[in-house]
Structure 1
């Protein structure tokens, strides 16, 4: 059987895919301008985000590792906040490793094969879901620590945090199964030429409602529901802090609120374009070439802005996290002194803090034991 070569109109928007014309009687809208924009814009943006995310998150992991090595008490010396931020940095790194592949795709075509296509797509979804879920966990933990400081002590220890992180990874792997199933490497006609693209491609026997349902689940679970949880937690936290002079806890919230705010700024526009595209597929909006062109370009730009989130987190640690800057300075001085570049004696790690007792909330969750805030 001859293989039908799909056009850009046959695809569901994801990683730069283009919109579908819902008017079957009308001539398909030209996508050449949108694809040309993607060829010029995406390789540069993806490459820049990759470099910044790689350097920044590796630096974060090094600082966290150094801080944890300097503490005694094992996991008990590692706060819940740092545990979730550690997993967040790993998630951002996983996404960063996929960006050069898609930069090559837009500059030339997909040349890495089907298996890499599916894995890369799954890593993209994995990071998007896990990133906001880890932030939601941090918000909920701060809510328990500040609003319910006494009654929630037994629930908040590092062992529980590791279990929660494992559950999040498993859940996000399940949600990313859509990319593993539907990501395909197919020849796509663009104008008079043909190129290979790694895209989500639903078979013709898949109903439009099914496709829209998957996209709405992505928006709800990957943005809407966690955002509502975070908003509730921080409203309660701010109300609690207004009635108390908890200076250290106010200071610790600065970084976390910044992380959540930047995530919303980065991903909210992309989620809005996804919702608009779903309304278009449901025929709740009038389809036109002009609207399709706006969705094409808007999806490309807002998706790249969302992807830049993985490079912005380390910058927030550096500019907002006072203790993170202190630990980073100590690490750099230690490396320079240890190599003799500063003409000083060999650096010796500082003595670890002594902790007593078991893995209790008071030991593991005092804000002063966090490297980030």
Structure 2
């Protein structure tokens, strides 16, 4: 049975026209409850998502391109594990941002691209989603090692650099593996010969089970695991900094709270929505049309909030660092004076710190 057969048998089954979140393929009302007219939900999506996506695309591209530029011109080489992770994080964010124009177009015109582009865009989106979350986890682990085990971190600095590159390779390969459902199930579908949509279409015989498994994988690896590691690492870091006698301790604690808060506030609402979505796929409890409409609109809002992590990452993990800010200021001075050549842009001197192998401050400075 193809997708067209499913829409004929169950008028409440939808891909993108009724349920507008990117990973949803169906409504939650039972077949005997009647048709739930939700054209206004799609109209809301068409007016809400495109301008917001273009803003996220523009702001995120500027921030992440600056990070890449700093690492490839000002510093000219990667000196720490965090440098390696931040560069890979910016690359992942840039690739993720590259998918937003497609979704902005889809929100207003439907999917006007080919089936292969559909699979590619969804796969790239999911690969870089997982890569970003896992790289943020790696940064938390690296900060734990550099601040809590500072002596060991210094003694094995060269070996840690090798491990960081190996970790990045594993992150990218693992992210590709996690994105296989996008390659397998993504396809362009047309609902009642109207607009086309790029979405996941699961096998009809075990559609709900497959959807639950895919969503569970995204929630566990894309949020729960990173959150658990980040909170654990930064909790120990906070305890270490509190015990440390340094005038920079309070600044360090503020930075940690910003890092954790940015991650939780941007990702928790969206993943909470995914948990409810997976629950509904397993056991439908939403039976009122108004409730389903509200859930759909809420999904759009929390999804766009989660996408802002592409804009927040450069600010929280790069620009907030003392050394990075100095490098950025030095680059701006070189640009205003006309010295933009790579050989003329040199990294600014860095002051030592006993708390971090990044040679700045114990405040997770990068």
Name the TM tier (shorter chain). 0.7 to 0.9
- Cα distance in 2 for residues equivalent to 1:301 and 1:8: 22
- Cα distance in 2 for residues equivalent to 1:272 and 1:3: 28
Matches for 1:20-169 after TM superposition, within 5 Å = 20-69=27-76, 75=78, 78-151=79-152, 153-154=155-156, 157-169=160-172
1:17 shift after superposition = 4.4
1:323 shift after superposition = 2.7
Aligned residues: 351
SS in 2 for 1:157: helix
**Cα contact 1:109–1:196 (8 A) shared by 2:** yes
Instruction: Label 1:177 to 1:247 Cα distance change in 2 as closer, same or farther (>3 A).
Output: farther
SS in 2 for 1:150: helix
Matched, 1:240 2:240: yes
Matched, 1:10 2:18: no
Q: Which has the higher contact order (CA 8 A, sep 6+)?
A: 1
SS in 2 for 1:21: coil
SS in 2 for 1:367: coil
TM-score normalised by length of structure 1: 0.84
**What is aligned with 1:179?**
182
Instruction: Label 1:238 to 1:81 Cα distance change in 2 as closer, same or farther (>3 A).
Output: same
TM-score normalised by length of structure 2: 0.85
1:36 shift after superposition = 1.0
- Cα distance in 2 for residues equivalent to 1:367 and 1:8: 58
Matches for 1:268-287 after TM superposition, within 5 Å = 268-283=268-283, 285-287=285-287
**What is aligned with 1:197?**
197
- Cα distance in 2 for residues equivalent to 1:298 and 1:134: 28
1:145 shift after superposition = 1.8
- Cα distance in 1 for residues equivalent to 2:208 and 2:3: 22
**Cα contact 2:70–2:327 (8 A) shared by 1:** yes
Indicate the RMSD between aligned Cα atoms, in angstroms: 3.1
**Cα contact 1:82–1:372 (8 A) shared by 2:** no
1:203 shift after superposition = 2.7
| Structure 2 unmatched ranges of 5 or more | none
- Cα distance in 2 for residues equivalent to 1:352 and 1:41: 43
**Cα contact 1:258–1:316 (8 A) shared by 2:** yes
**What is aligned with 1:365?**
357
